Amino acid sequence: MYKANDKRYDTMQYRRCGRSGLKLPAVSLGLWQNFGRGSSLANAEAMCRTAFDLGITQFDLANNYGHPYNGTAEENFGLILDSGLRAYRDEIVITTKAGYEMWDGPYGDKNGSRKYLTASLDQSLRRMRLDYVDIFYHHIYDPETPLEETALALDNAVRQGKALYVGISNYNSKQSAEITKIFRELKTPFIINQPSYSMLNRWIERDGLDKWAIENGVGLCVFSPLYQGLLTDRYLNGVPADSRVGRGATWIGNELTEEMLGKLRALNELAASRGQKLSQLALSWILSNPAVTSVIIGASRPEQITDNAHALDAPALTDEEMQQIEKILAQ
């Protein structure tokens, strides 16, 4: 039977999520890839245990994770909970999302309707064999559903005891502001937005979402911090056949130009001067943004999780290092 590491809370950093009472680990584990059907359950279990042993208490899921077998990541996570982690349920933050196409017909397609969100959350709870999730997100803004309906569906999940907090994902600052007004009228415990963010994808800065989050007491839990693997040492000396770009399993393969490689190699040199890997530097850079509560990492093996968690061991980036990064990225 699994027994968690007694020292799991000694080195992990925990950050308050906006103005809420909830603290999240600076590094969280996402189960988008490598946790669904067709992936090794033993490896998935080892990754979750490794994460928790490192003090990573947040496990981020969605109804459609495990694609093309939607829902299978939640099913497998339920099995992983049953194999030992469930004993630590009160020490774990489990999140799920709904918004993308999930099942056939008009009620399971990409939307934010009350019917879809309510049914999806019930399905997620059954798959993971949970009474509630800690955070339930609307996964993507739906222009065809009134925001009041989406907000009420999320609020209702809390009132029914199926979620403790609610969040939104892939909403820009304008959309976030609009739904926040409704949440505040309802007194919904809305605490978090989940956008993509990395050195190579800085749309939240251009949009002002990070500034808005700070001003409004909302945490940001960001995903794709390594830009589909480009911000690692994986591609510095060519494209491995078994990599995402090599398999054609990512949409950013065309961005791996000589100009991009020059930036990555320069960033890698800076990382090495700090005693870090490129991936660790990328995480340190994200966590230097005061709007960020937590960064969600993906992994295909336990060692990657350990490496990423060790990004927190390095000292904070200096002003000089931040300027050097800006210069490299501007090349």
Confidence check: pLDDT of 240 > 80: no
Confidence check: pLDDT of 249 > 60: no
Tell me: the pLDDT tens digits for 90-123?
999 999 999 999 999 999 999 999 999 999 999 9
Confidence check: pLDDT of 216 > 60: yes
Q: Which pLDDT value is given to residue 239?
A: 63
Q: Which pLDDT value is given to residue 117?
A: 98
Predicted TM-score of the model (pTM): 0.95
Tell me: the pLDDT tens digits for 270-303?
999 999 999 999 999 999 999 999 999 999 999 9
Q: Which pLDDT value is given to residue 314?
A: 96
Beta pairing partners, 297: 29
Q: Which pLDDT value is given to residue 248?
A: 57
Q: What share of the chain is helix, strand, coil (3-state, %, to 5)?
A: 45, 15, 40
Confidence check: pLDDT of 246 > 90: no
The string of DSSP letters for 233-284 reads: GGGTTS--TTSHHHHT-STTGGG--HHHHHHHHHHHHHHHHTT--HHHHHHH
Tell me: the pLDDT tens digits for 17-76?
999 999 999 999 999 999 999 999 999 999 999 999 999 999 999 999 998 999 999 999
Domains in the chain with CATH codes:
14-227+289-305 (3.20.20.100)
Q: Which pLDDT value is given to residue 227?
A: 95
Task: Reduce the DSSP state of residue 60 to 3 states and report it.
Answer: strand
Confidence check: pLDDT of 8 > 80: yes
d(CA 301, CA 181): 41
Q: Which pLDDT value is given to residue 201?
A: 97
